Structure 1
């Protein structure tokens, strides 16, 4: 099992090196510059953009994911509320664990998980350097073993904006009931269509 985890982490590290844009990083915040368009996964993979809307340790966090294929078609999206987390990274790790479990339950095999929090992707791909979060990271590593292939990708906040908007609606609109749906949310249809159209242009 340890060998499989190391192999998965190494593949994720290589994926990040090939797909990350270091020039766009903002030092100190863990966020990337808002200039990059959403990019589809390679054929055969599903790409799951995630976001946890964390405000402070006393409030719930809103979580969301949206899964798209290589043509930009939305396969599933979901929203949930998480109980109090002491910091944003904990909230994002819980969101990733939830998204991975959901994708496993839905039968996905080859996946890419994308987030605009650079520290989240670093923690997952270099878990030994983040001992404070070892329990969550261990759960995430075990979930990754259930897939045929898993990769991690850092997004800009702009290219992750659909997941961000869905997550923000939890606290903004008081939508604490979780749900999972086929396709994308109707209120973000135009943005989803525009991002898919960019792939074909």
Structure 2
């Protein structure tokens, strides 16, 4: 890790690689499952990136500022809802979550659930968007921005004719727009969508399969929510 001749992206990933090997070993021994190497490494690199974004100084020794994509609040009167579906494969449950915040970064509600029968991540994400819109409509929200770091689902909702295989699901989501005064779909960076991602991951990680919807944000993410509310990702 102290070898400066190696790329930083490799040296700083070493602790996560060790952790990944340990998790994979436990999955094989106790759950008889194994995530593909490419998917496992991709997920690991996202965690590494997110950790360094949240915990490293914004200014390097050279004095240059790091370009960090952080969560941005919506316009006044609009609710911004980050969503994420933690899909692993077609057999296992998928953990889904959404978290809604106002223009001041205050959390109005958040929710999580476990869903089944999802052949791929796009379907899981579309179901998550549909669930979030239904919930927000029931809560009386009239103007909302739905954001996800999975750009394909945002592209499908903006250009449904280019995704004929998912026509029925996309139609269900778009029909829900009639319940609102305004609905927009936007792509978020992985780091800016980190809160929703972590809530969704907790469903499978901690065995939290019971659906719930509550006021405010999760207490275990309080510090990160405060940093994002204050516009500070450090």
Give the TM-score taking structure 2 as reference length.
Answer: 0.70
Query: What displacement does 1:152 show?
Result: 1.1
Matched, 1:118 2:151: yes
How is 1:1-201 mapped onto 2 (pairs within 5 angstroms)?
Answer: 35-198=68-231
In structure 2, list runs of 5 or more residues that go unmatched: 1-41, 51-67
**Per-residue deviation, 1:198:** 1.0
Q: Which has the higher contact order (CA 8 A, sep 6+)?
A: 1
In structure 1, distance between residues paired with 2:161 and 2:179: 21
Structure possessing the higher radius of gyration over alpha carbons = 2
User: Over residues 127-179 of structure 1, what are the superposed CA-to-partner deviations in whole Å (9 max), with x where a residue is unaligned?
Assistant: 11101001111100110111000111110110000000000000111100000
4+ long deviations beyond 6 Å: none
Task: Report Cα offsets for 1:73-126 as digits up to 9, x if no partner.
Answer: 000000001112111000000000000000111110000000000001000010
CA-atom RMSD in angstroms: 1.5
Return the alpha-carbon distance in structure 2 between the equivalents of residues 130 and 66 of structure 1: 27
Segments of 5+ residues of structure 1 without an aligned counterpart are: 1-28
How does the TM-score come out when normalised to structure 1?
0.81
